[in-house]
Amino acid sequence: MKSTNFNSAHLEKQKFTRLLKLNLPHMKRILLASICVLLVNGALLIKPYILKIVIDDILTKHVVQKGFYSLTTLGILYFVVVALSGFFGIAQVNLINRAGQEIMRDLRGKVFQTIQLLPLWYLDKVSSGNLITRATNDIESLSEMYTDVLISLFQDVFLILGIIFVMIMINVRLAIISFCVVPVMFFLVFLLKTRIKRNFRKMKSLIGRINGFMAENISGMKLIQIFYGEKEKKEAFAKLNSEYFKVTSFQVWMNSFLKPAADVFQSLAVAILIWYGMGKIANQTLQIGVLYAFTTYIKQFFAPIADLADNYSTIQSAFASADRIFELLDQKENLEDLDSGISMEHTKGTIEFKNVWFSYNDEDWILKNISFSIHEGQTAAFVGQTGAGKTTIISLVSGFYKIQKGEILVDGLNINDIKKRDLRKNISVIFQDVFLFSETIGKNISLNDDISNFVIGDAIRTSFAKEFVEFLPEKINEPVMERGSTFSAGQRQLLSFARAIAHNPAIIVLDEATANIDTQTEILIQKAIETMSKDRTTLIIAHRLSTIRNADKIIVLKQGEILEMGNHAKLMEKDGYYKAMVMEGVKEYHTHIY
Amino acid sequence: MGNNILIKFIKDHKFSYIIGIIFMLLASYIQTLFPKVLGYTIDILQTNGFNPKSVYINLVYIVLIAIGTFVCTYAWRNLVIGNSRRLECHFREKLFDHFQKLSPEFYNRRKTGDLIAYAINDINAVRMTFGPATSMAINGMVVCVISIYSMANTINWKLTLLSLLPVPFIICIMFYIGNIVKKHFRKVQETFAAISDRVQENITGIRVIKAYVQEDGEVKKFQKLNDQMLEANLNMVRVSAYLAPLIELCFTISFVLNLIWGGNMVLNGSISLGGFIAFNGYLAMILAPVLSIGQVITIFQRGMASLDRLNEIFNVKPHVKDGESRAEFPAQSTIIITELSFSYPGSDSEALSNINLVIPTGKTLGIIGKTGSGKTTLVNLLLKMYNVEPNKIAFNEIDINDFKLDALRNGFGFVPQDNFLFNASIAENIKFFKNIYSEEEVVNAARNSCVYQNIMDLPDEFETILGERGVNISGGQKQRISIARALIKNPEILVFDDALSAVDTVTEAEILKNLRKVRKNKTSIIVAHRISAVMEADEIIVLEKGKISERGTHLELLEKEGLYHEIYKFQFGAS
């Protein structure tokens, strides 16, 4: 138990130093800001001192006012001090904010970059919402800490130090007396610290769960209504919500207690101070002005501490966010390195699998001892029931996952040795669910690459997407709505073909879409596949056996193993699994036509 | 509606609010006593040979003030701020309830992320308004009023008036700068939303980005937004940094006036030194709430804007009207559709026109047709996902509009096109979170939809959690689980909305065989693109542009040599 405590304290320290390290590149601005802070604080300390002079010398001792030593000049001096401190205050806020916002920008950029390079096995594991919040809300809450809290915290720390210094300079004993309540206060905060932190974590995770629950149920609302599951869902939500309420209630209680507690300590300090000072004043060893100045200092001393109770939640929230951000940035070793390895400008397109074993979790083998080879320009088709491992094979060809045993060779080179950027540039993957960005059609085809409109137009023609793009009001400049919802599944598929063709790859990998495609579009898709696979190595995952009759090689998979391999004619001869699958279709055909 | 919720909540909690506000007023009042007591104490200390007893009494007052402030603040914070949290949760629950009542039409037009923002951000803004901001405002007002009163009454009214001279300027500055800040703030929010959108889209499309090595371009695009965000933030800071120093400067004028004039008054004996000190104390006390007015105003503005947004949502009425007279769906019901035409709300063209159809009980209907031909619309209308005109659809001669919605939908088992499953265990997904099915029923449903073996291969079998934080299963498996979810209901009418698209032909045949067995005397409607899914049906209709263009059995339709035959030829590759 002790060791974990030590460990967490150690981690806490590490996180803190990491946060501090982010400041290093902006040291110049921060130093300048610190100077401003010192000046602002100096002003804060001078102000009560001017009052002390006024009270002690002019109002109590009735010293003759002359020259500098008059109420008027002291008043003007007071004003000048405030004006100067205002000026430096503005400068400091601007400086710190520039540094802070730049740090946030860099951090946000780094997070985004990390997400880009995360390997798929990692992305499979985490929810997308989780990643999105890291680049947005989590950075935001760090930034909030920077702008709302750190700046004042920075100032407060200096101020408190300054006050302590001035008080000690004026009167050591009074100073010590004034601070006698501080240890009690710290003890109290220390007692509550871990509970506050724990509670805060809980709050964050609960709000995340509420968010997720809402998102899921809004997406599935139609089903909930059809299945009349409103009551069950309402109960589940109420449970979650009341759990959240319980956790927030603790926070409310905490703040209700801590905030006035700071005020109590302040008043107590003043009372103790006066109680101690009254004897001294009676025997003339202490001036009233000093006593009054001390009460002001005490107020200045406690004000930031009282604020701390409010700021504490912002700080905790930011720390929780920092945890999540660092956790992501710590994936460094896992990130994909796109640029190391043998470069490969143009692939010929031979692919060979040699005794490949693969599993997503090192336990359940998805592919077991798979071997095959596909020559340049050939078309290979993978068939088998869902879950047979078809989709996995195409993910491996692009180097999205590392295999555990065996070798995958492209143009005779081990896939692990090839520069990933080059490898993927040579392979265009067409996914089963087509993803379209909310940009124009043209941009969706060229993506971020510099591809001329001519090439895009050509790709649209060869993919038969022209059939419908032509009729759009803006043609290739037609904007695509969120996730392409205005296009049918078939149209989206054709656009993804155009995307692949425009990138002119040596290898095309196609995971045939299954759902919702009407026969007319289906015919276009078939034609497009034919033209696309000409002169290119093509891997097709087929769901309709009619699609692949002309493939050079048909690979039949069952539960991760190759069952049969060969072209259509050869496999039909063999009278095995493939033939059974084909016959299933033909049988239906025969029984119903005759 | 949203306002009603708010008003009702406040009414229901009026005692805690009233008591809370009383404590709040008390706390503010007690706080304002402090400078006075301190002033008295200084006055006593100043006199030569003062009586220590009277000082002790004042010290006791100071301690009492501290305790009083603590108790009152503790009480009101727990009550008022606690209520604001309660309000937050209450609002969220009501909103979720409301969401559940809204029709698909509403959801077609809204983004999920947007709707969640209502439940989290907007409700939070409302909470901030009715909790911290309200109490800050009340507290500030009380402190100001009492301070000014004490200054004028107990010390000197002329000095008070003079000291308050800069206040109008302060208010002007605040509004002026506040407005500029608001504009910049909106810009910050806009860029933030743009960044969120960008990240969201990027992550959902990450596979495409990786496959086409677009990482660098994406980072570049993101950096541009990122720079905009930086600029927006700094622009806001540049203006808002002036606010506090300017207000303080204005206040300093009061302070200096007090210092010079008040000091002279002490010298000529028209006020006491203690009075002077107390006066300073009050001035300092006013400064804090005035400085926070800007903050309070922005919180209020945001809260009110959010309340408006929430009201808008709460005012959306469910489009589909609930029927009243029938609470029970008839067993053995024949579906009769007469002259049914339908256009989607806000659209001119008819999605369905003049559909006439009778599906006798126990029969199977197949529907085939192009994308956009009206297949899904037709089944959606049977489930009354949209309003249906009277006398168009009837079950056993009872009009669809007579049924209570839950009764109607209870009569159906539905498998949608998109295989939406919840982030819960497989068993719960099949049971749809209802505890009315036995384990055996769950297993049977899974067997009949040919997914039993797949489920048993998973690590926790039926208890395997699906979804983002759970196990990812293939589209075909998802589809079969959602078939099981419909089958377990053993409904009067079973609807497959293109629900066999993600399974291979072998599995498809097997599922259809099972269906014939378990659905012997019950009605089924199968919508499909594939002929093989519908050819066994008792009647098949071909939809084209919202109209029935062909109808009959498989063999009858083949003989017609129309669209059906064409599709058939294509799919079976027959020549």
By the CB < 8 Å criterion, does B369 face chain A?
A: yes
Q: How confident is the model at residue A592 (pLDDT cuts 50, 70, 90)?
A: very low
| pLDDT on residue B315 | 84
Distance of residue B408 Cα from the nearest chain A Cα, in angstroms? 9
The residue whose two tokens read 């109960």 is: A235
Q: What is the C-alpha separation between B32 and B532, in angstroms, rounded?
A: 85
- For chain A, the helix, strand and coil percentages under 3-state DSSP, each to the nearest 5: 70, 10, 20
What is the enclosing helix (H) or strand (E) of A565? strand A561-566
Fold assignment, A351-593: Rossmann fold (3.40.50)
Checking if the pLDDT of A514 tops 70, the result is: no
Give buried/exposed letters for B329-338 (b at 16+ CB in 10 A, else e). Answer: bbeebbbbbe
CATH no. for A2-334: 1.20.1560.10
pLDDT for A141 beyond 50 = yes
Report ipTM for this prediction: 0.79
What number is the average pLDDT over the span B132-140? 85
Give me the pLDDT at residue A1, please. Answer: 37
Do residue A543 and residue B92 have CB atoms under 8 angstroms apart? no
Tell me if B502 sits within 8 A of B420, measured CB to CB. Answer: no
Q: Which pLDDT value is given to residue A484?
A: 61
Out of A492-501, A516-525, B145-154, pick the least confident.
A516-525
Task: With CB atoms and an 8 Å threshold, state whether B215 touches A116.
Answer: yes
B508: contact with A, CB 8 A cutoff: no
pLDDT band with cut points at 50, 70 and 90 for residue B468: low
How far is the C-alpha of B277 from the C-alpha of B283, rounded, in Å?
Answer: 10
pLDDT band at A588 (very low <50, low <70, confident <90, very high): very low
Question: Which residues are CB-contacts of B336 (< 8 A; sequence separation ≥ 6)?
Answer: B357, B358, B393, B394, B395, B397
Mean pLDDT calculated for residue range B277-288 = 79
The pLDDT value given to residue A430? 85
Whether the CB of B241 is below 8 Å from some CB of chain A: the reply is yes
Strand partners, A382: A541, A555
Do B423 and A54 count as a contact with CB atoms less than 8 A apart?
no
Question: Which pLDDT band, with edges at 50, 70 and 90, does B471 fall under?
Answer: low
pLDDT band at B285 (very low <50, low <70, confident <90, very high): confident
**Chain B window 539-568: which residues touch A at a Cβ cutoff of 8 Å?**
554-555, 558, 566-567
More confident residue, A521 or A501: A501
pLDDT on residue A9: 63
**Distance of alpha carbon A556 from alpha carbon A577, whole angstroms:** 8
| B314 neighbors B98 (Cβ within 8 angstroms) | yes
- Contact A385/B199, CB-based, under 8 Å? no
- Closest CB to B63 among A234, A268, A385: A268
Residues B40, B274: contact at Cβ < 8 Å? Answer: yes
Please tell me which of the candidates A90, A234, A291 has its beta carbon nearest to residue B242: A90
End-to-end CA, chain A? 79
Task: Looking at mean pLDDT, say which of A559-563, B151-155, B416-420, B568-572 comes out highest.
Answer: A559-563
Of A128, A211, A546, the CB nearest to B573: A546
Spatial strand order of the sheet with A405-410 comes to A365-374, A351-359, A405-410, A413-414
Q: Can you tell me the mean pLDDT for A399-416?
A: 86
Query: Which pLDDT score, from 0 to 100, does residue B39 have?
Result: 80
Mean pLDDT value of segment B508-517: 80
pLDDT score, position A369 = 86
Residues 479-498 of B with CB under 8 A from A: 485, 489, 498
How many helices and strands (H and E) does chain A possess? 21, 10
Distance from CA of A1 to the nearest CA of B (A): 30
At B422 the pLDDT is 82
Please indicate whether residue B353 or residue B228 has the higher confidence score (pLDDT): B228
The residues, any chain, with a CB within 8 Å of residue B384's CB and separated by 6 or more, are: B320, B400, B401, B403, B405, B408, B409
Residue that the structure tokens 């419908």 belong to? A468
Based on its alpha-carbon atoms, the radius of gyration of chain A, rounded to whole angstroms, reads 36
Chain B contact set for A108 (CB, 8 A): 195, 226, 229
Which amino acid type is present at position A192?
Answer: L
- Please choose, from the candidates A372, A348, A394, A381, the residue with its C-alpha nearest in 3D space to the C-alpha of residue A505: A348
Contact B126, B306 (CB under 8 A): yes
A428-451 per-position pLDDT tens digit:
888 877 788 878 888 888 888 888
Least confident range from A134-143, A191-200, B290-299: namely B290-299
pLDDT at residue A260 tops 80:
yes
Residue in A263, A278, A421 nearest the CB of B55 = A278
Residue of higher predicted confidence among A495 and A517: A495
For the cut 50, the answer to whether the pLDDT of residue A263 exceeds it is: yes
CB-facing half-sphere around the CA of B220: CA atoms within 13 A: 7
Contact A518 B77 (CB under 8 A): no
Q: Measured between beta carbons, which residues in chain A are less than 8 angstroms from residue B211?
A: 398, 424, 427-429, 431
Q: Note whether A116 contacts B209, CB cutoff 8 Å.
A: yes
**Helix, coil or strand: residue B393:** strand
Q: Where are the alpha helices (DSSP H) in B164-271?
A: 167-204, 206-211, 215-257, 263-267
- Pick the residue from chain A with its C-alpha nearest to B37: A271
The shortest CB-CB distance from B69 to any of A219, A260, A336 is to A260
**A-chain residues near B414 (CB < 8 A):** 223, 226-227
pLDDT recorded at residue B357: 83
One-letter-per-residue 3-state SS of A274-331: HHHHHHHHHCCCCCHHHHHHHHHHHHHHHHHHHHHHHHHHHHHHHHHHHHHHHHHHHH
A446 touches chain B (CB under 8 A): no
* Placement of tokens 């401190």 in the chain: A85
Judged by DSSP in three states, A142 sits in: helix
Structure-block tokens of residue B107: 């959801």
Taking the C-alpha atoms of residue A244 and residue B89, their distance in angstroms, rounded to an integer, is 8
SS3 content of chain B, % helix, strand, coil (to 5): 65, 10, 25
Please tell me the distance from the alpha carbon of residue A540 to that of residue A509, in angstroms, as a whole number: 6
Give the residue ranges of DSSP H helices in B404-530: 405-410, 426-431, 439-448, 452-457, 475-487, 505-518
DSSP states of A10-77: HHHHHHHHHHHHTTGGGHHHHHHHHHHHHHHHHHHHHHHHHHHHIIIIIIIS-PPPBTTBSHHHHHHH
CA B489 to chain centre: 31
pLDDT of residue A8: 60
Question: Predicted confidence band at A593 (pLDDT cuts at 50, 70, 90)?
Answer: very low
* Confidence at B258, pLDDT banded by 50, 70, 90: confident
**Binding-face residues of B in 448-467 toward A, CB within 8 A:** 454, 467
Are residues A105 and B227 in contact, defined by beta-carbon separation less than 8 angstroms? yes
pLDDT band at A194 (very low <50, low <70, confident <90, very high): confident
Q: How many CB pairs under 8 A join A and B?
A: 424
In whole angstroms, give the CA distance from residue A401 to residue B492: 47
Domain boundaries, chain A: 2-334, 351-593
CATH, domain range B1-155+297-319 = 1.20.1560.10
Q: Which of B480, B522, B474 is nearest to B499 (CA)?
A: B480
Nearest chain A residue to B203 by CA distance is: A128
Which CATH number is B324-411+497-504+526-575 given?
A: 3.40.50.300
* Triad B517, B522, B525: Cα angle to 5°: 95
Question: What would the mean pLDDT of B472-488 be, rounded to a whole number?
Answer: 80
**Best residue in A223, A224, A439 to probe B by mutation, most B CBs within 10 Å?**
A223
Contact between A500 and A430 (Cβ < 8 Å)? yes
Q: What is the pLDDT of residues B38-94, one digit of tens each?
A: 888 878 877 777 777 888 888 888 888 888 989 998 998 888 888 888 888 888 888
Q: Which of A252, A281, A288 sits opposite B81 (nearest CB)?
A: A252
* Distance (Å) from the alpha carbon of B356 to chain A's nearest alpha carbon: 24
Local confidence band at B413 (pLDDT 50, 70, 90 cut-offs): confident
The residue among A191, A101, A116 whose CA lies nearest residue A148 is: A101
Q: Give me the residue spans of the domains in chain B.
A: 1-155+297-319, 324-411+497-504+526-575
Calculate the CA dihedral of residues A527, A531, A534, A535 and round it to 10 degrees. Answer: -160
Mean pLDDT computed over every residue of chain A: 80
Calculate how close chain B gets to A538, using CA atoms only, in Å. Answer: 15
Give dist(CA A498, CA A500) in Å, integer. 5
Highest mean pLDDT among B12-21, B144-153, B391-400, B537-546: B12-21
Question: What pLDDT score does A495 carry?
Answer: 87
Do B65 and A267 lie within an 8 Å CB cutoff? Answer: yes
B200–A132: do the CB atoms touch at under 8 Å?
yes
For A375-396, the pLDDT digits (tens) are 888 888 888 776 677 778 878 8
Rounded average pLDDT over B15-42 = 85
Instruction: Determine, for residues A256 and B370 on separate chains, whether the beta-carbon distance falls below 8 Å.
Output: no
* Range of weakest confidence among A277-281, A325-329, B110-114: B110-114
- Residues A545, B505: C-beta atoms closer than 8 Å: yes
Q: Is the pLDDT of residue A590 over 70?
A: no
pLDDT digits (tens, 9 = 90+) for A542-580: 766 766 777 888 888 888 888 888 888 787 788 778 777
Would the CB atoms of A518 and B370 count as touching at under 8 Å? yes
Interchain contact A479–B (C-beta under 8 A) = no
Q: What is the pLDDT of residue A589?
A: 40
